[in-house]
């Protein structure tokens, strides 16, 4: 295609402006709704047995502090997972607190959280 013809018809300038605008929009990213940083590795460690339960609890508590310090939200499952870890080492009060917090943060999980809460002694 003849570039002089594009310049003379005035199509190139609007096309270039549109591309620049779209490129600018494409490079802006929406921040994630939840911060998953240490949560996923801890779930993996739970299933593989790479870390002891107390080590996993410590890692998740540190992750919680970091996430909240950045004013980010804990991801779905975070509270339930740490609650289950607390329950597995006999820390029922902490487990109950976490499961209740999970239920409040994600009401759609209420039935499952209620089931877990009913199993606590």
The rounded average pLDDT for each run of 10 residues, N- to C-terminus, in the chain (121 residues) is: 51 53 57 73 81 93 92 92 95 97 95 94 70
In a domain? residue 67:
yes
In a domain? residue 32:
no
In a domain? residue 31:
no
In a domain? residue 57:
yes
CB distance 51 to 21 below 8 Å: no
Distance CA 82, CA 97 (A): 10
In a domain? residue 74:
yes
Q: What is the pLDDT of residue 110?
A: 95
In a domain? residue 13:
no
CATH no. for residue 43?
1.25.40
In a domain? residue 108:
yes
Angle, helices 92-105 vs 78-88, to 10°: value is 160
């Amino acid at each position: 295609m003849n570039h002089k013809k594009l310049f003379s018809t005035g199509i190139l300038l609007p096309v270039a402006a549109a591309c620049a605008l779209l490129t600018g929009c494409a490079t802006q990213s929406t921040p994630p709704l939840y911060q998953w940083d240490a949560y996923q590795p801890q779930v993996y460690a739970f299933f593989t047995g790479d870390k002891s339960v107390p080590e996993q609890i410590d890692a998740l508590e540190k992750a919680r502090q970091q996430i909240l310090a950045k004013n980010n939200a804990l991801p779905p499952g975070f509270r339930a997972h740490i609650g289950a870890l607390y329950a597995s080492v006999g820390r029922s009060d902490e487990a109950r607190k976490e499961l209740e917090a999970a239920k409040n943060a994600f009401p759609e999980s209420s039935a499952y959280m209620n089931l877990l809460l009913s199993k606590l002694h």
